[in-house]
């Protein structure tokens, strides 16, 4: 661990890492659990290790992946010694698939003209219990909500397209001759370069787009023009009546999840149910239907599930039970289940 501490000290002093440092890191990160530990160390010392001149580094995960890709590139230059990365790749496959790792390594360290990539696709899936940071070959980056996925490709004619299932925040690299289009089951979002959030979960009756900066054009799935958004606006599409409307959005509500925060602001218990299920990777059953329209206000970040439920019990006229996971015939387990009832 001393060698790793020495590497952290170099990062804190903003000293470049040597090939031997990267070699040590690769061996270290191959061990089970060390990747998470290293991320935690970077997060703990973020104010010291962050290089404010590097605009790509906005969070500890950004620096972690940049260091990892540098280690891969360094190792390629040592032909006499090869490291088996199979176990490492398998462990992170739930977060980033191998094609993404290789392509984003090029994106980090190649010149700007590397944005003009070929037609190779990238698929990213986020596990059910955590959000995922992603980097695309064109320089675009963002966050993928838990249990969501994106499929990126550069299609004939130069358009960059992303098929989205779930929720994602995009920070799109501007390339004039290559529009960036997010495709969902309900609509398309066409941009050149901007920052915006898309919620397109098929389990919800309403899909949304919140624009943080820049501008976006909203299209129907048949490419018909719907409207243009300006910063701070939110586009909402109701699948039940096939209608959309644009209103002033609330940035904190739209983007809280990218900071690891679950914000429930005057949401019904039924609406909160879906958000809590995703945040804690659980199943929730509201046993008494009259509770579904009860309004909830909560801001959750580091609290454990039982802490949140106990606080809710003290404030709201509810009781709850938590059922342990059950083993299925195929050897897998169900999620924990929370049953909420009205207080007698």
> 230 with 322, same domain?
no
Burial profile 189-219: b = 16 or more Cβ within 10 angstroms, e = fewer: bbbbbbbbbbbbbeeeeebbbbbbebebbbb
Domain end point (choices 67, 91, 115) = 91
> 36 with 123, same domain?
no
> 295 with 193, same domain?
no
Report the CATH number that the domain containing residue 289 is assigned in CATH: 3.55.50.30
> 181 with 224, same domain?
yes
Domain end point (choices 39, 69, 91) = 91
> 105 with 234, same domain?
yes
Q: How many domains does the structure of the chain reveal?
A: 3
Report the CATH number that the domain containing residue 166 is assigned in CATH: 2.60.120.1440
> 255 with 112, same domain?
yes
Q: In whole angstroms, give the CA distance from residue 334 to residue 311.
A: 25
Domain end point (choices 243, 259, 275) = 259
In terms of C-beta density within 10 A (0-12 exposed, 13-18 middle, 19 or more buried), how is residue 339 classed? Answer: middle
> 251 with 184, same domain?
yes
> 41 with 123, same domain?
no
pTM greater than 0.75: no
> 211 with 320, same domain?
no
> 127 with 233, same domain?
yes
> What is the structure's pLDDT at 49?
63
Q: Evaluate if residue 2 carries a pLDDT over 80.
A: no
At 84, is the pLDDT very low, low, confident or very high (cuts 50, 70, 90)?
Answer: very low
Q: Tens of pLDDT along 153-181?
A: 987 667 899 999 999 999 999 988 899 99
Beta-carbon contacts of 45 under 8 Å, excluding residues fewer than 6 positions away, are 8, 11, 12
> 97 with 246, same domain?
yes
> What is the structure's pLDDT at 172?
94
Q: In whole angstroms, give the CA distance from residue 182 to residue 215.
A: 14
Count helices and strands in the chain by DSSP H and E runs: 10, 18
> What is the structure's pLDDT at 72?
55
Q: Evaluate if residue 111 carries a pLDDT over 90.
A: no
Q: In whole angstroms, give the CA distance from residue 217 to residue 206.
A: 19
Q: Which domain holds residue 72?
A: 1-91
Q: In whole angstroms, give the CA distance from residue 326 to residue 337.
A: 10
At 94, is the pLDDT very low, low, confident or very high (cuts 50, 70, 90)?
Answer: very low
> 156 with 253, same domain?
yes
- Tell me the average pLDDT across 291-317: 88
> What are the phi and psi torsion angles at 8 (to 5°)?
-60, -40
């Amino acid at each position: 661990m001393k060698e790793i501490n020495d590497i952290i000290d170099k990062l804190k002093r903003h000293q470049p890492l040597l090939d031997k440092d990267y070699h040590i890191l690769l061996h270290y990160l191959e061990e089970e659990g060390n990747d998470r530990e290293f991320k935690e160390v970077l997060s703990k010392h973020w104010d010291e290790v962050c290089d404010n001149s590097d605009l790509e580094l906005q969070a500890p995960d950004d620096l972690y992946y940049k260091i990892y890709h540098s280690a891969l590139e360094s190792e390629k230059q040592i032909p006499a010694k090869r490291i088996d990365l199979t176990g490492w790749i398998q462990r992170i496959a739930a977060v980033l698939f191998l094609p993404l790792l290789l392509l984003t390594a090029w994106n980090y360290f190649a010149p700007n003209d590397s944005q003009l990539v070929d037609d190779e696709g990238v698929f990213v899936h986020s596990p059910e219990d955590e959000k995922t940071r992603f980097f695309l070959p064109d320089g675009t980056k963002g966050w993928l909500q838990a249990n969501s996925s994106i499929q990126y490709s550069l299609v004939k004619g130069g358009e960059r397209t992303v098929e989205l299932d779930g929720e994602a925040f995009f920070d799109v690299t501007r390339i004039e001759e290559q529009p960036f289009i997010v495709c969902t089951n309900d609509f398309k979002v066409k941009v050149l370069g901007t920052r915006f959030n898309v919620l397109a979960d098929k389990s919800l009756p309403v899909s949304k787009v919140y624009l943080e900066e820049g501008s976006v054009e909203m299209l129907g799935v048949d490419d018909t023009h719907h409207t243009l958004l300006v910063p701070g606006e939110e586009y909402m599409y109701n699948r039940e009546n096939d209608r959309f409307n644009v209103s002033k959005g609330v940035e904190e509500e739209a983007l809280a999840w990218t900071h690891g925060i679950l914000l429930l602001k005057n949401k019904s218990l039924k609406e909160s149910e879906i958000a809590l299920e995703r945040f804690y990777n659980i199943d929730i059953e509201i046993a008494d239907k009259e509770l579904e329209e009860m309004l909830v206000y909560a801001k959750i970040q580091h609290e454990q599930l039982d802490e949140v439920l106990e606080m809710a019990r003290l404030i709201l006229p509810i009781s709850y039970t938590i059922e342990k996971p059950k083993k299925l015939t195929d050897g897998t387990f169900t999620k924990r289940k929370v049953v909420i009832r009205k207080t007698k």
